[in-house]
Chains A and B, each alone.
Chain A
Amino acid sequence: MASRIRLSKVFSCFNEGPAGVLSEIEISQSPGIPTFDVIGLCDSSIRESRGRIISALNSSGFIMPKGHITVSISPSYMRKSGTSFDLPIAIGILLVSGQINCPPGVKIYAEGELKLTGETRGTPGSAVRLRSIDKDMFDHIIVPEEERESAVFTGSDAAVIGSLKDITDVIAGRSFSPLTATSEAERNDEELIKGNAPDLSVLKGQEKTKRALILAASGFHNILLLGSPGCGKTLAAGMISSIMPPLSPEEQRDVYALSDLTGSASRERPYRTIGPGTALSKITGSSSTLIPGEAVLADHGILFADEICEMKNEVLDGLRLPMGEHEIRHIKDGKVFRFPARFLFVGSGNPCRCGNRFEKDKVCRCTPSVISRYLSKLSGAFLDRIDIFSEMRSLDTEDLKSTLGRRTGDESRRAQETVRRAWDMQKNRYSGDSGNRFNGIREVSSDEDIFDIIRASEEVREYAVETAGRYELSARGMTRMILLGRTIADTEGRQDMKVSDIAEAGAYRSRDLIRR
């Protein structure tokens, strides 16, 4: 055969669950009747790229080369989808047809969708992809303008282009829009954290709830608030993130990458709400598309379950695993995908059907059997994972009056200092473990001695065991109580635990909630 087959290679990446898989795009051109084949278990979103690519090439002043064109996207045994292959395929075609030139051995990474006009467009999941690639491997990293923020976040030294036309400049190394680290990413932390949350002092007269919120924030402990309708449960839940220090850059990257998978990227501490209408698959995410659910999107943030007593049993049971393990696993094609779910769980609901069970002036008309039926959704196994339980009451008109017009951020600010102190303590203690930075999220495996980790004296140990016996706690219940006690000590910056830490932690266990 006299005909010469020409080849070119461009790198790109596609999402598989929480990770990105590097892929090599090979393009071959050989003389013959014009064809365009894309191979490598691609779905129709990739095969359709042909139309976009041809039009974009023409609109940008290039031409679509004649002959057989075969595009092979590796690894070929993995199913892939998404339109982010448009740009690398187009670049490969330009290279193979000699419309742009670059020295052999130069490695190009590109991703992005193309419009028919030749302009580029970003696609969801860019942060995950850019994060997973080894940036030093490539000579050029080319991303669309819309993925600028992802590129900055992941520290990629990328060329950001607005249109396919710019590609010649990039390859020639002439000029392209350089990334500056001082773009939007460096938005003021203060601004991010302030938000519109009211000050903690609006929860006047609800000392237990206030303290509970601070402890929950300090150690990422699962918390349950039960109280009458309108007593401020949602308000209280919303205040938790306002008493937390801002996200660290590393956490911001995590949050950004995960939220970007759904197409709406965010850098703020997540606050995801689920309710009785939310299906379980929306909470855990789907194992076929591997798009993260609410529990994963709440990573590093707050997962607020409103009206928890009205939720379906399967949803509550489904929440149990992520609440304990802080991870969601999906199995697809025999592979296990692990999504982080290090959220702070906040549940809220009515304490009985009429809602007045904990009220001061109103009378609860629910009989014990009605109450136990109403709360039967909250199984023992579920409550076992609740470290902090606090009942709430409506504020008196007196209380309300005195809170009006007093919105100084003082109490929240002081609470934030406490939380920060606790975080620092935990960071130092758990510096060896990756990810398990908080007492409430720590998974204690059976071969570890919980008391060794948390530095408790003999006296504290005995007291904890005695308390657990008295309150009839399970082994998990006891462990979680001790970890909450550890958090209490951390908020005071104490290395060693005291008996009173355990005693206070015990007061938050929800043992009297249901009497069967």
Chain B
Amino acid sequence: MKDIEYEAVRFNSKIDFKIIRELFSKSFIKSHRDITLEGIGSILSSPRKDELSDRSFTLLKDALMQEERIKKAEEEYIDSMNRNGLYTVAFEDKDYPFIWRYLDGMPRVFFCKGKREMLTKLHRNGAAAIVGSRDAGSYSLYATSDMVTKLTAHGVVIVSGMAMGIDRQAHLKALELGKDTIAVLPGGADMVYPKQNADIYERMASKGLLISEMPPGGKVLKQYFPARNRLISGISDACLVMEAGIYSGTLHTASFAASQGKDVFVLPNNIYSENSLGGHLLIRDGARILIDADEVIKAVMEEVAHRNDGMRVQDKTLDREEIQRKMNEDPSDLTDEELSLVITDQLRIRARNADELSVMIPVPFPMLLAKLSDMEMKGEVVTRRGKYEIAVNR
């Protein structure tokens, strides 16, 4: 319930990610679930409220003024969710996408409709985003079907945006084969967009999964597309660009994927085809060329293996909640293994030097430095330009 109230607050006030990040970093809150009307009230009355920036303070206060509107929205959401069979998945849930935990700016709560186990499969088997133009040529559409067939044969989940053209073809083929597919929608998860796809919407809801970060009833606006695209790339382990014009939104997805460290594959096409120029430019800039589905499968499997590696350590002995509790209370209590994990977590986000790490991980500095040095000696991290990085061959 708190998840829904959080969403209601977020979409009906001026509280944005910047403020939420500030609240986390200054440890006003431990979970997004603390951002409720009640939670904001207690933040604003806490003795440490002076530490907040002026902007955050004013906007949090504004949010409280919107109490009626927020409460009304919350009721509407719940009502709409009940009517349309939606449910929420939150950061605290076990099946919250693993990769999102380590990316900046991913939603802490999102709305779903359909088969929830898709999220587990996504994690276990890996996923490939298949994106491309809305009016694609027959060659690209054929290649899309072919790739979906080959990838799904290895259990890879097909992720797309349920637009016309390539997106539609990808979902359609996966559904036909009875394989796993997830659509990330630009509006509310109960909104069918575009209308022409009403047929697949129904099939996706029963055989696949529809997800959205927008609240139920959220209208589709053009400016939401790039935001949606970041979720598509964020949830996948590789990104396949089947056809993209020079101003195509598909290029957004590709660049998100690249900056999130994922392999981008581009289907080569006729160089005189205007609608493929964007994709070709990606190839020129260093994207991989899509010739063989096996290469994609290999890239996805590598990501999955890497992820499971991390998970195994986690599953065996370490309890993240326990670690978090120790971090907040007495960081010197962390065991050696726990400290390693905390350091690795930080370095996975980006390379940092010892000083920065000591801000993030409040253990005594000598202990931190000794641990870093030990990890370096064991080949778990390397130093470059004075910063520690996760060793690549791990």
List residues of A whose CB falls within 8 A of some B CB.
205-211, 351, 357-358, 360, 364, 391, 393, 466-467, 470-471, 488, 499-501, 503-507, 511-512
> With the chains together, A205 CA to B359 CA distance in Å?
8
Having A207-B354, A208-B355, A500-B370, one finds 9 other A-B pairs with CB under 8 Å, namely A209-B355, A211-B369, A393-B355, A471-B377, A500-B371, A504-B369, A504-B370, A506-B373, A506-B377
Contacts of B374 in A (CB 8 A): 499-500, 503
> With the chains together, A357 CA to B354 CA distance in Å?
15
> With the chains together, A471 CA to B359 CA distance in Å?
27
> With the chains together, A436 CA to B386 CA distance in Å?
33
A211 lies within 8 A of B355 (CB): no
> With the chains together, A357 CA to B160 CA distance in Å?
41
Q: How big is chain B's contact interface, by range?
A: 20 to 34
A206 lies within 8 A of B377 (CB): no
Q: Which residues of B71-88 are within 8 A (CB) of A?
A: none
Contacts of B358 in A (CB 8 A): 207-208
Instruction: Report the nearest B residue to A211, measured CB to CB.
Output: B365
Query: Can you identify 27 A-B contacts, CB atoms within 8 angstroms?
Result: A205-B355, A207-B355, A207-B365, A208-B365, A208-B369, A210-B365, A351-B386, A357-B385, A358-B353, A358-B386, A364-B385, A393-B353, A393-B355, A467-B373, A470-B377, A471-B377, A499-B374, A501-B370, A503-B373, A503-B374, A504-B369, A507-B354, A507-B370, A512-B383, A512-B384, A512-B385, A512-B386
Contacts of A511 in B (CB 8 A): 383
Contacts of A364 in B (CB 8 A): 385
A358 lies within 8 A of B385 (CB): yes
> With the chains together, A157 CA to B119 CA distance in Å?
91
Say whether, besides A357-B385, A357-B386, A470-B377, A503 and B355 are in contact (CB < 8 Å). Answer: no
A507 lies within 8 A of B365 (CB): no
Shortest CB distance A205–B (Å): 6
**B286: interface (CB < 8 Å):** no
**B366: interface (CB < 8 Å):** yes
- State which of B354, B371, B383, B385 has its C-beta within 8 Å of the C-beta of A208: B354
> With the chains together, A206 CA to B369 CA distance in Å?
13
Shortest CB distance B69–A (Å): 35
Shortest CB distance A462–B (Å): 12
Shortest CB distance B136–A (Å): 40
> With the chains together, A364 CA to B386 CA distance in Å?
13
> With the chains together, A504 CA to B354 CA distance in Å?
12
A507 lies within 8 A of B373 (CB): yes
Shortest CB distance B26–A (Å): 13
List residues of B whose CB falls within 8 A of some A CB.
353-356, 358-359, 365-367, 369-374, 376-377, 383-386
Say whether, besides A357-B386, A488-B366, A391 and B371 are in contact (CB < 8 Å). Answer: no
B371 lies within 8 A of A503 (CB): yes
B354, B366, B371 — which one has the most chain A CB atoms within 10 A of its CB?
A: B366
Shortest CB distance B168–A (Å): 43
B365, B370, B372 — which one has the most chain A CB atoms within 10 A of its CB?
A: B370
Shortest CB distance B363–A (Å): 11
Instruction: Report the nearest A residue to B379, measured CB to CB.
Output: A470
A500 lies within 8 A of B383 (CB): no
Contacts of A391 in B (CB 8 A): 353, 386
B373 lies within 8 A of A504 (CB): yes
Instruction: Report the nearest B residue to A492, measured CB to CB.
Output: B366
Instruction: Report the nearest B residue to A509, measured CB to CB.
Output: B373
- Give the 10 A-B residue pairs with the shortest CB-CB distance, closest first: A507-B373, A504-B370, A500-B370, A503-B370, A503-B374, A391-B386, A503-B373, A207-B358, A506-B373, A512-B383
Contacts of A360 in B (CB 8 A): 356
> With the chains together, A325 CA to B248 CA distance in Å?
68
> With the chains together, A358 CA to B383 CA distance in Å?
12
A206 lies within 8 A of B355 (CB): yes
Shortest CB distance B135–A (Å): 41
Contacts of B376 in A (CB 8 A): 506-507
Say whether, besides A208-B365, A504-B366, A466 and B354 are in contact (CB < 8 Å). Answer: no
Shortest CB distance A494–B (Å): 12
> With the chains together, A357 CA to B386 CA distance in Å?
9
Contacts of A357 in B (CB 8 A): 385-386
Contacts of A501 in B (CB 8 A): 370
> With the chains together, A470 CA to B370 CA distance in Å?
15
A211 lies within 8 A of B366 (CB): yes
> With the chains together, A506 CA to B369 CA distance in Å?
9
Shortest CB distance A400–B (Å): 15
